[in-house]
Structure 1
């Protein structure tokens, strides 16, 4: 009886969560439209007075309270062969990292991305988005392994929606988005910034741990939800 009650509570909780998500589906661009102006005003004031701790707190609050669990818009970017591709063309969960040529990654960040892309190649698609021209993105792509999909957006030729501008100009670079299979944003993180003289091994370990923690947590949650869905279908 206790096992049946526990199963009932788990299934009920899953159903309630699914219904809530379906009835309150909000897109990333919508959340930015409503919450970004207030965040920017407070963040500019914090950074004006070099209050980086406050600035970091404001960013985390924006993510946790306003952006997490929204749904990423289906925007367009380009492969290195200049052929267009949309975010929703990727059927797996996506780990999206935004860069620009003038934004230098941590010395251990790219090796960590390459290692994780290899480790999770069957479960997560790693996408590195450069805000640059095709030639620049092609040259920068040489540092990434073949499991990482390197794409670009040339802003001088961009005519895509509101979300494109804010992916770059509002949250800063580099920024990482963990996006579920159904394109729900599970987490948004800024890359780690360590002191310049940090050894590469330490930089690699810190970056690897930070990214891996978010990915493994999401995959665990996704696996649990699928198990609950299977139990529900069997009960029906």
Structure 2
């Protein structure tokens, strides 16, 4: 009987450990609800006085101290065929970019994304999320490589308030999310804004370098995690 009880407690300890780890996870939506109100209050004052340096500092602080290392929620989007697509359906690390048809992308930005999607198609799932109708998203998708998954959410249908609140109305757009294979957010970045007179090549080079640096950080993190899993 004593041996049976000892075995029971040992097994209970092993079975309880993953649950404890699961409960320790903080999801993106939870982190936002905890920290976004204070950020919005401070950022509103900064931009009211045209203190853009302060505004950028506050955004970076929110990302680095509050949102990074949280886990992305299993958000639902729609394919261009109007079928539901959930984020966790993508098994590779994810580079998620949010756009809208009325946003003006920087010169050279889309060519840089397309080139990198071709280069890393076997290692990264590229997702471009449009806050638009299906028709507008489908029309905008023509600019993107076949290696990029174009999805959309139509706010006017009022059917997806959870994803809209967390991914659109929280941090604005365009925004890029760098997500590791285990769904942990490695970074959140704003798009690069260049001077009006910047050439297409300058824009392409800067966007290519910035996006590839983000991709490398995701891949390095996943490689370290795989090594750690093997060691354990």
Q: Same fold (TM over 0.5)?
A: yes
Change (3 A) 1:84 1:163: closer
Q: Which position in structure 2 is the counterpart of 1:159?
A: 159
Change (3 A) 1:21 1:106: farther
Q: Give matches, 1:114-133, under 5 Å.
A: 114-133=114-133
Larger radius of gyration: 2
Q: Which position in structure 2 is the counterpart of 1:194?
A: 194
Please, which runs of 5 or more residues in structure 1 have no aligned partner? 1-17
Q: Which position in structure 2 is the counterpart of 1:13?
A: none
Displaced runs of 4+ in structure 1, greater than 3 A?
A: 18-23
Change (3 A) 1:88 1:105: same
Greater CA drift, 193-202 or 164-173: 164-173
Contact 1:29 1:163 (C-alpha < 8 Å) held by counterparts: no
Q: Which position in structure 2 is the counterpart of 1:207?
A: 207
The CA deviation at 1:196 is 1.2
Q: Give matches, 1:80-99, under 5 Å.
A: 80-99=80-99
Change (3 A) 1:39 1:128: same
**Deviation by residue 1:99-150 (Cα, 9 ceiling, x = unmatched):** 0111111111101110111111001000000000000000100000100011
TM-score by length of 1: 0.87
Cα distance in 2 between the residues matched to 1:182 and 1:151: 21
Cα distance in 2 between the residues matched to 1:20 and 1:215: 30
Contact 2:77 2:84 (C-alpha < 8 Å) held by counterparts: yes
Cα distance in 1 between the residues matched to 2:42 and 2:20: 31
CA RMSD of aligned residues (A): 1.6
Q: How many residues align?
A: 215
